[in-house]
Amino acid sequence: MSLASRFPFPPNDPEDAGSRYNSRLYERFEGLLPVVTYSVILWCTVVYFLVNKDGADSVASNKLTHFLGFTTYQDLCNGRWWGPIASACVHIDLWHIVFNMLWLVRLGPLMERGLGSFKTVIFFITAAFVSSTVQLSFAGPGIGFSGVVYAMGGFMWAAWPRFTGFLEGFNGTSLRWLLIWQAFCLVLSWGGMMPIANTAHISGMLFGFLVGLWACHGTKQGWYWLCASTLMLLACIAFCALAAFSN
């Protein structure tokens, strides 16, 4: 079996999902208000205006950015274990927050109506922690919700055959745009034109993809995907713990 057939892209037309589209587990929470999504958007927006209030390069702004989430390895050594999660909500550039929030407002409600608000907030927290920690460990500190956005994309890519309601807002074209943008980000980074947290994007998508495969197949048939995603999470916890104990 080829990779394309084992991990198919979501179709552009929901009706092309065939008989699987009748599952529509999404509609279990059809009337759910996506409070987690809207709360994250609100907090990211508040943080953006706070850190830019006095100019992004001012001393006060830098201190506030650090206070609200920007985390270095030394911060981990000092016990700032929550930093990798909080850093996901920090944006300095306008294009950065606009890009992330546009994707979040599109994908977040789909995820909440498919999983429920509680599971969604757990996913956001773990995806932020994993993507930010991997970024910090391999390429230095980063900020922004992009790692979680890519985790959501990876999750929906893997889980859409079961959660077919995702197809109402996430399809093959959406996934291709995420992948094309990532390729463009790599070009910008390698060309020295713009620093981008590519490691957070890639690790976030991988984590979300593994969790999505587990959600799609269930624990009984997809236990190895559960183990793989859990190992990623445990590796990040171990990294932060070792940093704290090394101080």
Known catalytic residues are 146, 201
Residue with tokens 């997809």: 222
Distance CA 17, CA 144 (A): 33
Amino acid letter, residue 1: M
Decide: 123 and 211 in contact? Cβ < 8 Å.
yes
